[in-house]
Amino acid sequence: MTNSSSSKKHGQDQSELSGPTSKSQRTKMGKSEDNDKKNSGKKLKDVEISVPIVYGNMAFWLGKKASEYQSHKWTVYVRGASNEDLGVIIKRVVFQLHSSFNNPTRVVDAPPFELSEAGWGEFEIAITLHFHSDVCDKPLNLYHHLKLYPEDENSSMSTKKPVVVEFYDEVVFPDPSEAFLARVQNHPAVNFPRLPAGHTLPPPIPVEDANRRRKGDTKDNPLSQWFLSFSEADELLQLAAARQQVQAHIAKVKRQISLIEGQHKQLKSSSDQ
Amino acid sequence: MDAKDILGLPKNSFPSSADKKPRPPKESQRKPDGISREVYALTGRMPPLMPSIDASQLKKKHPPHEKITWQWLPFTNSARKDDLHLYHWVRVVNGVPPTGDYSFAKYNKSVDIIKYTDEEYEKHLTDPMWTKEETNELFDLCGRFDLRFVVIADRFPSSRTVEELKDRYYSVSQAILIARAASSGDVATHPLIKEPYNVSQEMERKRALSMVLSQTRQQERKDEEVLVEAKRIAELRMASKVTEQPQLVVASNADAEVTERAVPGETISPSNVQPPSMVVPSATDNASTLASLRMLRVYLRTYALDQMVQASNSSAGLRTIKRVEQTLQDLGVNLKPRVPTKAVCAEHLELRREILTWLNLQKQVQYKEAEGSSFRDGSYGETPGTPKLLRGADQDRTFIPDSMNFGVSSERVGKKDQKRKAHGGPPTSAHKRPRKQKASDL
């Protein structure tokens, strides 16, 4: 993934390297409260770091090989939104399956954080992300409803094309430690914040060799051809258009109000005679 | 599966999660061992939790090598103080009578009453309310009747209440214990020291109990009503307190409970109390939500967005929130963004706020127009801007009385963008019953 440093836009206080596929200009809007905080030169306030992830499942119908209790082969996973290696942030992921599975608590210790199984039923999977100790000592829970059957009941199931359900989200660390920041400085999986002026980080500790690191990403994953893409550009456009419309409506109504108020003044003055 | 085949139904519709793995073969197919089917059904088709008596035990045969006889023998009872010999039948095995004390002697339990000497009495136990004789008498009775104070009170020569007697007994025992103990620490764990007898509390408690007992049914009903009222008022007060305080949600991410399964990511919703008439400025809510988010070590963007949306919704009534959502849908915007990045979430929030502003402005327009028409009617001596009428304004329609002056019409305020008709328009009136406007609609 190319670092879109050229498109980095300096917002109000934080700018972020874009993670997902589109290289949209990120402008800071709305969250102006960060400026209200007193920047007393304390350690790294108002610096948040976020990791865009996608989690969900993929399910293949087994077709002829399907039995009554194993009709689908499915994989539940957590991946970086741009298929980068999440191992730099996540230490392990625990997938809690339905109790009818053997050893329903499945632990995945290394990226890619995915789990494959075979079954027939849809149920809720609790996904717990455990982070490295310098990142966060509290785990984070996600919940995903496993989907095997296509939305449209009439569409036939195919063994070649899987049913895919994915959700985009971002893991936010509002108060990251210096060590954490230093370690992930240039990592593509992370939305790195803009540091307060003059603040420098120690150079990152040399990580394990690139080969080992590369294996954790999901770019070459056999399932990657089915991954969905999440583009924030479309959504931003949609929202911007909607906002424009609403703002236009607001202006119109304000004009109406002032019109009416003017009329009221007239009436009042005439009735006071 | 086969049934569906027969009926020609699609095979796909497996129910979710209910039973996952191979359902255990139907219970009716399983034949219980050892008991008949009907009896098994009576127990709820489950093996009993407690092992029942093994029936084979009941028909135990006597061990043949033992010779059992029964003999009429004398016995003594160690629980008795006299030397009474009585007789009873005894089971003798092989000519050897059973040994040991009388089997019921162990049930002869008694209370240890503290006995004090005269010396000790002089030193520690004198009391203005009690004479030495009375105290001695009390202790004697306690010993005889095993601290059954009701009986003791009955037999006590001078009439003292049960509480008085108890108080005297326990305080004497306490004093003796402390006096005899080597150090205060030794007796600190003694029940008499640890939990002293509290006369006033006891009397109060018994009085209260007797009052409750002697309440008439009517009083009971009245009490219940009062309690229900009090509870309602307390809840209202709590509700208003909740919205006044910033909604601090310090979530423990590790143990988050899922409130909506369909929503990805964790959502913890604070108590969904919609107070009837609280208008909290949204600015404080947002700031406090942000503060509480920052207190978390880690959270999901969708969770944060959810919290912020709730914060901004807290100042609006349920109907307004629904209208906001409807507007979002009309504008073609996802109620929950599909790609919730920081920028998208911020935009989404702003959009919601702007929609709220728009809706509020629309209401203002309606208000103003209602005011306007009442101004006109005022010239006929009617009270201008009757509060009742204004309050009766519906969201989309106002009920304006027909006015017959100057051919000026009462006009029907249409929906959002309709322009006001000028004078002389056809008189229309929405003869709908004005609904009382709730403050929450503001």
- Here the ipTM equals 0.77
Residue A31 included in any domain: no
Residue A166 included in any domain: yes
Q: How far is CA B205 from CA A96, B163, B200, B210, B219, in A?
A: 53, 11, 8, 9, 19
Number of domains in chain A: 1
Best of A102, A141, A156, A230 to substitute, by most chain B Cβ atoms within 10 angstroms, is A141
At B198, the amino acid letter reads: N
| Residues B76-125: tens digit of each pLDDT | 888 888 888 999 998 888 877 788 788 888 888 888 888 888 888 888 88
Question: Does A214 score more than 60 pLDDT?
Answer: no
CB contact under 8 Å between B298 and A267, yes or no, is no
Residue A64 included in any domain: yes
A49 or A66, which is more confident: A49
CB contact under 8 Å between A256 and B304, yes or no, is no
How high is the mean pLDDT of chain B?
74
Dihedrals φ, ψ of B100, to 5°?
A: 105, 170
**Which region among B296-300, B352-356, B435-439 has the lowest average model confidence (pLDDT)?**
B435-439
Best of A9, A67, A253 to substitute, by most chain B Cβ atoms within 10 angstroms, is A253
Residue A96 included in any domain: yes
CB contact under 8 Å between B261 and A138, yes or no, is no
Note the pLDDT of residue A9.
42
Question: Does B280 score more than 90 pLDDT?
Answer: no
Note the pLDDT of residue A94.
94
pTM above 0.90, yes or no: no
Residue A109 included in any domain: yes
Helices B162-180 and B132-145, axial angle in degrees (round to 10): 100
B positions 255-294 inside 8 Å of A (CB): 256, 258, 261-262, 264-266, 286-287, 290, 293-294
CB contact A10 to B (< 8 Å): no
Q: How crowded is residue B211: how many other Cβ atoms within 10 Å of its Cβ?
A: 10
Note the pLDDT of residue B191.
82
CB contact under 8 Å between B328 and A16, yes or no, is no
B420 or B108, which is more confident: B108
Domain extent, residue A118, equals 53-197
Question: Does A12 score more than 90 pLDDT?
Answer: no
Note the pLDDT of residue A269.
76
- The CATH number of whichever domain residue A58 belongs to comes to 2.60.40.1970
Highest mean pLDDT among B44-48, B58-62, B163-167, B259-263: B163-167
Question: Does B388 score more than 90 pLDDT?
Answer: no
Note the pLDDT of residue B150.
93
| Cα–Cα dist B404/A259, whole Å | 25
Residue A25 included in any domain: no
Question: Does A117 score more than 90 pLDDT?
Answer: yes
| Cα–Cα dist B64/A8, whole Å | 100
B99 or A138, which is more confident: A138
Residue A152 included in any domain: yes
Note the pLDDT of residue A206.
60
| Cα–Cα dist A83/A217, whole Å | 6
Question: Does A142 score more than 70 pLDDT?
Answer: yes
CB of B352 within 8 A of CB of B309? yes
Beta bridge partners of A166: A56
Segment A210-230 shows an average pLDDT of: 75
Note the pLDDT of residue A225.
86
B61 or B190, which is more confident: B190
CB contact A60 to B (< 8 Å): no
Residue A62 included in any domain: yes
Write out chain B residues lying below 8 Å of A30, CB-based: 346-347, 349-350
Residues of chain A above pLDDT 70, percent = 77
| Cα–Cα dist B425/B179, whole Å | 103
Chain A, chain B: beta-carbon pairs less than 8 Å apart:
210
Region B118-197: CATH code? 1.10.10.60
B30 or B149, which is more confident: B149
Note the pLDDT of residue B112.
84
Residues of chain B above pLDDT 90, percent = 19
| Unique residue bearing structure tokens 């601090």 | B248
Dihedrals φ, ψ of B388, to 5°?
A: -65, -40
